[in-house]
Structure 1
Amino acid sequence: MSTSKPDTATAEADCLRGIGSQRLWSRLMTLGEIGALADGGVNRQALSEAEIAAWQYLTGLAAQGTGRPIEVSTDAAGNLFLTLPGRYRDLPPVLLGSHLDSQPAGGRFDGAYGVLSALEVLLTRAERGLESERDLIAVGWMNEEGSRFAPGMMGSQAFAGAAGIDEIRTVCDADGISVGAALDHLHTVFAGLPRRALGFPVAAYFELHIEQGPLLEAAGTNIGVVSGIQGKKTWRIEIDGESGHAGTLAMRDRRDPLAAFARVAVALDNELGHADEQVKFTIGRVVAEPNAPSVVPRKLTFSIDLRHPDNAMLTRLGMQVEALCSANARPCSVRAVPLVDAPSNGFDPQLGRLIETAASAFGYSSMPILSAAGHDARYLAQVTPSAMIFIPCREGISHSPAEWSTPEQVGAGADVLYATLEAWLQTQNQERHDAS
């Protein structure tokens, strides 16, 4: 296929115009009102009515844009795709995005910033009359957080083929609602949207995000060039005991899963949580049944989140989980159910260099950084060259109503995303021209 040689000077000038922060910031604050909590936080969980409202807001913004129209579609996993068409629709598209769902008491930036910034890049290109050879797609992945349905990152896993959609649909939330039922409701609300194939070819993926850690702020650095994501393993642990009356059942006769949990939790924390300075060990959810004040529980379920940047160390620690639980739960029985097994991964070095160059062109400082938190980019990196861009967040706080950034930081990250995409498109155009 023959293509005309790109106008390098014009393209470079477009890169450095950036997109500006005012409109993006305003829309980010508006999106934060969907699922807003009284303390300034956000509760917008996966496939909830609040996330459906967020979809409606995003698709409304896409429809308001000037220039070429943005096409809206979805897939069987409930991922949202906002597409700016390119000249050659048969070429694999570029994806930019993150997720719209939040923790039950989350903030306004985590995930939402990446999706809105991706859409803003597309709208800005359309308004400036810039046309790419391939489609550009802003994506909102389904259930990244994993707070309503566990594990998280279901949409990106299904897209990348790391998990099957049939298996994902069977997962239920605390109220017994399945992912399948919630997806069917979402697709009923958006019945007019075209349905994409699950897992179509992608040329590259870019994800912009707050750091969710303190390193950029502490260093006074504008942009983090993410080198990769540390590994993560999660489990659901079920301890079965025997229910009884709190006032009549003798202590010596009890099979109390809550008492067993206390022993198990201490053993896990001692053996795993203090293995070295890099390990991250968390028990994040504990549910006792029947959870009544005068009843010895019959069952207790809790979660384990174990992370480490070294895959060998993560594996070694993970192999101890079941044995530690069994040894300390007696006389109760225990079952360890693995949920997530995600090794550490790296991102594309060439894309990382483009991010560094883009930041420098705007006068923003940058530094390499390893992501301590998981992101959808982990799974996209398995199927396409991928990269992440971080901006600072105040005191490194995330998954909290106190999560915050500034208009200037938000604008800087979006500028770098825009310029990195433009530089990547120029490189691809040049390669196609040289090969023609």
Structure 2
Amino acid sequence: MEMARVGARPDGGVDRLALTEADGAARALLRDWAEAAGCTLAVDGLGSMVLTYPGADPSLPAVAVGSHLDSVPTGGKFDGAYGVLIGLEIVRALHAAGKHTRAPICIVNWTNEEGARFAPPMAASEAAMGFTDAAAVLATPDRFGTTTYGAALDAAGWRGTRDPAEARRFAAYFEAHIEQGPVLEREGIPLGIVTHGFGVNYCTITVQGQDGHIGSRMDDRRDALVGAAEVILTLESIAHGTAGRGLASATRLALEPDARGNIPSVVRLVASLRNIEQDGLDAMKATLAAACQEITNRRGMPISIDYVSGYPSVRFDAVLLDRLRRAAEAAGLRHRDLPTPIGHDALHLGRVVPSAMLFIPCHGGLSHNPAESITPEWSAAGLAALGPAVIETAGGLA
């Protein structure tokens, strides 16, 4: 709740777009809290913060706990911040007790997880794991066209010298998060053990029609917006055809010309496809391509699909997941397995580093909304499971 005062909105939410003044203030607060708990700060070349609590054996690779402090423009208090601050709470407990684990523990705040200012999302963790080029990330323009990721990083004063690739040497990575869905609350279960993440592809779909006056005959038109409307309904239909295993969304729309008196000649859609399995995601892409070709043939409107980013379906580490389950059972907490259809930095980490995710409920499954909320009991349940699992993975108390 104290962190949520940084970038607070009048409606109770938060606005901490990546590498803005509010994001910088949140980073500074995290730094101060962590240093007071015995951590040292390193910042990598993409701005991600790594706060290390020393282990008894500094030669051992660190166990990391992380998420993000940046938000969407109309964000809630807990998305991302919970996963960073739960790592801080583990370290604070150790520090207060005068204890250390054998291996170091790192708290990680990944830059620009949301992608709300610099697309795509999770670019810093993706680059750290070697799946995209760091220089390309730094050159990414912001959504307003006023600056780049690298320029904003320098202006905020958060470009560090640590090599992002050092994160590949973590012994393990844990991420806790609000569910951003209704399952746990509906079933009265305080903990979700996240077994795997959906595969995701982001794309730009371009529909090309022909300029025309809105007074022209209906039969003579090649209205790109009408074609794009068919594509949007096609996305919905494809998702419904997966028997609950897939999701599809169109999230942004740009028209040329964007004028009241003109029939649009070009429409660009930003869309995403998600599926619980990689084969299912590939099938959704094939179905979309065939549907767009049919619209092209019937309406005389060329449609192109440009896949710009994404990640495969990722299975989390069985040993780490079992540690979370055992810790939950030792604390007397009910839990259930479930996947995540939503992107998290852990999905990139999990492709390289043994990783695990833990969910707690949120009211109504609501997230990316100022009304996003959790209970202190749910928050404590997450710590009761994550803390022992992290300590065990770091070699136990020295």
Q: From 237, 254, 257, give the equivalent of 1:287.
A: 254
Q: Which residue of 2 aligns with 1:164?
A: 133
In 2, Cα distance between equivalents of 1:266 and 1:108: 33
Q: From 33, 46, 55, give the equivalent of 2:27.
A: 55
Q: Which residue of 1 aligns with 2:375?
A: 406
Structure 1 residue 132 displacement after superposition: 2.5
Q: Which residue of 2 aligns with 1:9?
A: none
Q: Say which SS state the counterpart of residue 268 (structure 1) adopts.
A: helix
Residue deviations 1:184-222, cap 9 Å, x none? 323xx246xx52112111101011111111111122112
**Contact 2:7/2:16 (<8 A) preserved:** yes
Q: Which residue of 1 aligns with 2:93?
A: 124
Once the two structures are aligned, what percentage of the paired residues are identical? 37
User: Please, which moves more after superposition, 97-106 or 322-331?
Assistant: 322-331
Q: From 258, 264, 268, give the equivalent of 2:235.
A: 268
User: Please, which moves more after superposition, 254-263 or 133-142?
Assistant: 254-263
Structure 1 residue 294 displacement after superposition: 3.2
In 2, Cα distance between equivalents of 1:118 and 1:231: 27
Show structure 2 runs of 5+ residues with no match. none
Structure 1 residue 227 displacement after superposition: 1.0
Residue deviations 1:98-122, cap 9 Å, x none? 1112222221111111011112211
Is 1:229 matched up with 2:206?
no
Distance 1:57 1:291, change over 3 A: farther
Show structure 1 runs of 5+ residues with no match. 1-28, 430-436
Q: Say which SS state the counterpart of residue 47 (structure 1) adopts.
A: coil
Residue deviations 1:302-354, cap 9 Å, x none? 12221111221211111233343343254443332112332222111111111
Residue deviations 1:81-101, cap 9 Å, x none? 111122333321111011112
Residue deviations 1:121-157, cap 9 Å, x none? 1122122111223221100112222222222111110
Q: Say which SS state the counterpart of residue 133 (structure 1) adopts.
A: coil
Q: Which residue of 1 aligns with 2:170?
A: 202
Residue deviations 1:3-37, cap 9 Å, x none? xxxxxxxxxxxxxxxxxxxxxxxxxx122222222
**Contact 1:268/1:324 (<8 A) preserved:** no
Q: Say which SS state the counterpart of residue 251 (structure 2) adopts.
A: coil
Structure 1 residue 256 displacement after superposition: 3.0
In 2, Cα distance between equivalents of 1:309 and 1:271: 14
Distance 1:190 1:277, change over 3 A: closer
Amino acid paired to 2:207: I
In 2, Cα distance between equivalents of 1:267 and 1:364: 42
Distance 1:121 1:338, change over 3 A: same
**Contact 2:62/2:394 (<8 A) preserved:** no
Q: From 357, 363, 387, give the equivalent of 1:418.
A: 387
Is 1:318 matched up with 2:285?
yes
Distance 1:237 1:182, change over 3 A: farther
In 2, Cα distance between equivalents of 1:50 and 1:324: 43
The two structures have a TM-score, normalised by structure 2, of 0.91
Aligned residues: 393
Q: Which residue of 1 aligns with 2:273?
A: 306
In 2, Cα distance between equivalents of 1:276 and 1:377: 26
In 2, Cα distance between equivalents of 1:184 and 1:320: 43
Cα RMSD of the aligned pairs, angstroms, is 2.2
Q: Say which SS state the counterpart of residue 75 (structure 2) adopts.
A: coil
Structure 1 residue 378 displacement after superposition: 0.9
Structure 1 residue 55 displacement after superposition: 0.8
Structure 1 residue 272 displacement after superposition: 4.3
Which residues in structure 2 correspond to 1:232-247 (within 5 Å)? 232-246=200-214
Distance 1:365 1:114, change over 3 A: same
Amino acid paired to 1:217: E
Is 1:35 matched up with 2:3?
no
In 2, Cα distance between equivalents of 1:292 and 1:174: 21
